[in-house]
Chain A
Amino acid sequence: MNISYIIVFALVSCVLFMLYHIEITKRIKSEKSNKKLQDIVDQLDNQAKIIIKTDLALNKVQEDLDRKITGLCTLHEISRKLSSTFNIDNIFGMINQPFVLKLGFSKLLITLKENPSGLMAIKSSAGYSDAEIKIIETEFNKINFASFLFKKEKPMLVNRLMESIDRRWNLLDLLKVESFLTAPIIVREESIGFIIAGNTSMYGKIGENDTELMSILTGLVETAIESAKLYTELFGSHRELERRVADRTKELEKLNEELKNLNKMKSDFISSVSHELRTPLTSIKGYASILMTGKLGNVLPAQKERLEKIDKHSNSLVHLVNNLLDIARIESGKTQMTMQNISVKEMLDSIVDIITPQIKEKNISLKINSKTKFDTIKADHSQIERIFLNLLSNAVKFTPEKGTVSVDVEEKDDVIQFSIEDTGIGIPPQDISKVFQEFFRADNALDQKIKGSGLGLSLVKKIVEAHKGKIWFNSELGKGSRFTFTLPKY
């Protein structure tokens, strides 16, 4: 019985031991597999940590990149807008809230030093009420923030972590931001103000990355202010210059008017004097002619000679008076040009006929070179004849014997150009500017010998200008002169 108990007990113990062993083995196995599972979970968790860190870093890079791109695009937009104005007040108005928000800031202040007080005044703001601006402005001037900032060359970043500056003045609370950047505005090497850009959001806290944007923004504002100042100065000078020019023009107009009046008075005077002279001259000439006929008694040869001189000089005087009258008439516009079609060739032929005796007398060779197919011009026949007669007779007069006088006719655009050239004595350089003046006669020996009134060229110029033409000349002393004038084709 005892043995059987013992056997049963031994068997039970054995079974229990086996069960225990199985359980222990199972537990060890389970613990092992749990540990393995835990290791896998931990491993996955570690991988998750890497993923999260990478995601965070990527998000940050993306955020910085987005902010930079948006910021640069916005700065480009601001720059374009700023370049369209030269008014300082407009510059500040342009950096408005939408731009500030696009730059990634929620608040902005632009201050400038006021003259002569030297106090800082807020010129532009975004994200602040008028009352807040007043408080900030007062506080800035109280703590003299500008003088502290003007010592800095680069934008300065302020946030809750930075102790010194904020603790000193509680600027973050004053500006109602979590962080801000500030930079001085330097124009012509002088600090004239500063910009503050801040963020109220912890999410978009301003960092070192934003200093670049701030530098560009400050640079844009500096350039815009400098350009506006330059423009204002330039505009001021321009206005002053314009004012002076206007004053001077007024003076000149007045003088011109006076000159016109004087000229008219002169013409009127010449005209009336000439008229007054012509009547007695006609009488003198008439009486001299009667005396010369001998009808009033015998005329002695000596008397005849004197009478002839009276007649000759009277003729000269009549010619002079007529020229004077013509000049006065043309100047006053009293002489109407009778415009008609004139054949250039025929006109030149008739003038050559007139001038031929003088040419022959001095054995001068006359050449006419016409390079134009255009034969007709519209002009006053008698006046044009006077031009040619004056210029050709001058050329003949001042050309020594066996010299050459040539007439060139050319077609140039809308005009016909006539040139009368001689191989005469030429005009001294000092007299060139006076040639067309009335009563002027060149100061050389030959000229003094040759008689003339000094009115011919003046009259020629007046006639050419009355035909809307131009006249000029080239001359070389001792070699000759070339007078050129143009007449419109039509």
Chain B
Amino acid sequence: MYKNMSTLTGTGISTKLDSFAAGKEAALNAYYQIEKNYPNILIIFISAIYNQHETIKGVRSIIRDTPIIGCSSVGSISNYGFHQNSVAVSIISSDSINFFCGIGDKISANSRLAGSKAAIKAFGSIKKHNPKQAYMMFSDSISGNSADILRGAQEILGTCFPIIGGGACNKSRSSQTYQYADNEILTDSVVGVIISGTMVLGIGQSSSWQPIGKPHKITKAKFNIIKEIDRKPAVKIYEEYFEKSFEEIKNDGIFKLGINYPLGLRQTDKNKEYITRVPLMLENNGSFVLNADIREGENISLMISDKELIVESAKKAAEKALSYIKNTKIKFAIMFSDISRFLLLKNDAYKEIDMVKKIIGMEIPILGCYTLGEYGLLNAAESAGQYCFNNHSVSITLFSE
């Protein structure tokens, strides 16, 4: 149990086999931790192996009317470490924070519209006198364009309004992902929640992937599809670097290769942080479909990372977040780490969480999950405080009073 003057958080994790029982157990554990106080919101992350409806029913058997937000994930992140194939329920009970949810559907048809729809609904519910602090959203990562979803939300909230969250994920690129808002279990959607109140936020994001090899120019691209790189079919870059044929890449799945070796865009010459894009699908003409858009004429590099760099970047993100909240007391932290980091760290995934705990304080409650792409602020100075969609990063948001 993590108890503060006005804010209580509790996180329950269950790995029970039965979906209903797992939901119930996780909710009950979290509820006990907030000492059965009034919960403001439930943030839920459920592995795709569970029957999603039954799990939510299990959660609802303990806590009935509180708003729910969350998504499916390969694993949850909490003070207890990482848990694969689990149900994680986090409850926030606070008299200084309020939450207002919104839903945007059919992102595959119009990601931008869906993004703005969710933000409008969430924003519309908020009382005017409440200071808006941040917007947390979870989107379907295997359909639509995540950067467009963000743009849609930014049309309503502004480009410098703190937006955190990420793409719901499953271990497989082709498996369905789910987004939760209240009692609805959605897919091909985006769910968002406006966080309002008097809290001070500190957001830090960092990616550990580094370029390798010479830069290449995107010579033909449209939205989130790269058609040509260096005037050759886009797939050639992977064919050349990995010495694999088109058929081999197609059969193995471009996502499998791209999740570990994505394409990186350098933001400015000064900054060493790269925005990365993951090829989700390989088309027969050798084009890639990415999970966010990319511009023609941009220089890209193949990216690589290792375990040490990942842990180091978690430290960097935590330090960055901490630097914004001087002279206040941290109440809790929300952490989203990209699935690629989890796949590379494997059993060492706890090291990333431990590093964050070490920086922000061992007793600070952490809640979060692994995502496919993260919304956040990668380079505050270089991007003029504009929030963006990135992959392979870890995003840490500290809530303090």
A positions within 8 Å CB-CB of B: 41-42, 44-45, 48-49, 51-53, 55-56, 59, 66, 96-98, 101, 106, 127, 129, 160-161, 178, 200-205
Contacts and interface: CB of A to CB of B under 8 A. Distances in A.
A59 B304 CA distance: 12
Contact of B173 (A49, A59, A203): A203
B49 A52 contact: no
Nearest to A58: B306
B242 A52 contact: yes
B256 A203 contact: yes
A375 to B, nearest CB: 77
A160 B11 CA distance: 41
A56 B238 CA distance: 12
Contacts of A127: 49
Given A51-B304, A202-B173, 7 more contacts: A48-B302, A96-B17, A101-B49, A106-B49, A178-B172, A200-B171, A203-B171
A202 B255 contact: yes
- For A51, A127, A201, the residue with the greatest tally of chain B CB atoms inside 10 Å of its CB is A201
A201 B256 CA distance: 9
Contacts of A49: 213, 240-241, 243
B260 A202 contact: no
A201 B39 CA distance: 37
Question: What DSSP secondary structure best describes chain A's contact surface?
Answer: helix
30 contacts: A44-B214, A45-B214, A49-B213, A52-B212, A52-B241, A52-B302, A53-B241, A55-B304, A56-B260, A56-B261, A66-B347, A96-B17, A97-B85, A98-B85, A106-B49, A200-B171, A200-B174, A200-B175, A201-B170, A201-B173, A202-B172, A202-B255, A202-B256, A203-B255, A203-B343, A204-B171, A204-B172, A205-B252, A205-B253, A205-B256
- For A45, A52, A56, A205, the residue with the greatest tally of chain B CB atoms inside 10 Å of its CB is A52
5 closest cross-chain pairs (CB), A and B = A202-B253, A48-B213, A201-B172, A45-B214, A48-B212
Given A52-B261, A203-B172, A41 B49 contact: no
Interface in B150-165: none
A101 B85 contact: yes
B327 interface: no
A203 B15 contact: no
Interface string B105-142: 00000000000000000000000000000000000000
B243 A53 contact: yes
A97 B17 contact: yes
Given A52-B241, A53-B242, A45 B343 contact: no
Interface in B340-392: 343-344, 346-347
A202 B212 contact: no
A59 B243 CA distance: 16
A43 to B, nearest CB: 10
- For B51, B260, B344, the residue with the greatest tally of chain A CB atoms inside 10 Å of its CB is B260
A203 B212 contact: no
A17 to B, nearest CB: 39
B271 interface: no
B259 interface: yes
Given A96-B17, A127-B49, A45 B213 contact: yes
Contacts of B243: 49, 53
Contacts of A161: 251
A3 B243 CA distance: 70
- For B15, B84, B214, B302, the residue with the greatest tally of chain A CB atoms inside 10 Å of its CB is B214
B171 A51 contact: no
A201 B170 CA distance: 9
Nearest to B214: A45
Contacts of A129: 51
Interface in B219-263: 240-243, 251-253, 255-256, 259-261
A96 B17 CA distance: 8
A59 B307 CA distance: 11
Contacts of B212: 48, 51-52
A420 B232 CA distance: 118
Contact of A160 (B85, B251, B347): B251
Contacts of B252: 202, 205
A97 B17 CA distance: 7
A166 to B, nearest CB: 13
B9 to A, nearest CB: 28
B20 to A, nearest CB: 14
- For A97, A129, A161, the residue with the greatest tally of chain B CB atoms inside 10 Å of its CB is A97
Interface string B81-111: 0001100000000000000000000000000
Contact of B174 (A51, A66, A202): A202
Contacts of A44: 213-214
- For A42, A49, A178, the residue with the greatest tally of chain B CB atoms inside 10 Å of its CB is A49
A242 to B, nearest CB: 38
B214 A203 contact: no
B242 A98 contact: no
A45 B170 CA distance: 34
B139 to A, nearest CB: 20
A302 to B, nearest CB: 111
A56 B241 CA distance: 10
A52 B171 contact: no
Interface string B319-356: 00000000000000000000000011011000000000
A201 B84 CA distance: 15
B167 to A, nearest CB: 16
A388 to B, nearest CB: 80
B124 to A, nearest CB: 38
A125 to B, nearest CB: 12
A201 B252 CA distance: 11
- For A48, A96, A205, the residue with the greatest tally of chain B CB atoms inside 10 Å of its CB is A48
Interface in B24-47: none
Contact of B346 (A45, A66, A205): A66
A201 B260 contact: no
A215 B149 CA distance: 47
Nearest to A160: B251
Contacts of B304: 51-52, 55
Nearest to A176: B175
Interface string B167-189: 00011111100000000000000
Contacts of B261: 52, 56
Contact of A203 (B51, B85, B240, B253): B253
A178 to B, nearest CB: 8
Nearest to B260: A59
Interface in B179-209: none
Interface string B65-92: 0000000000000000000110000000
A53 B243 CA distance: 8
Nearest to B305: A55
Interface string B264-278: 000000000000000
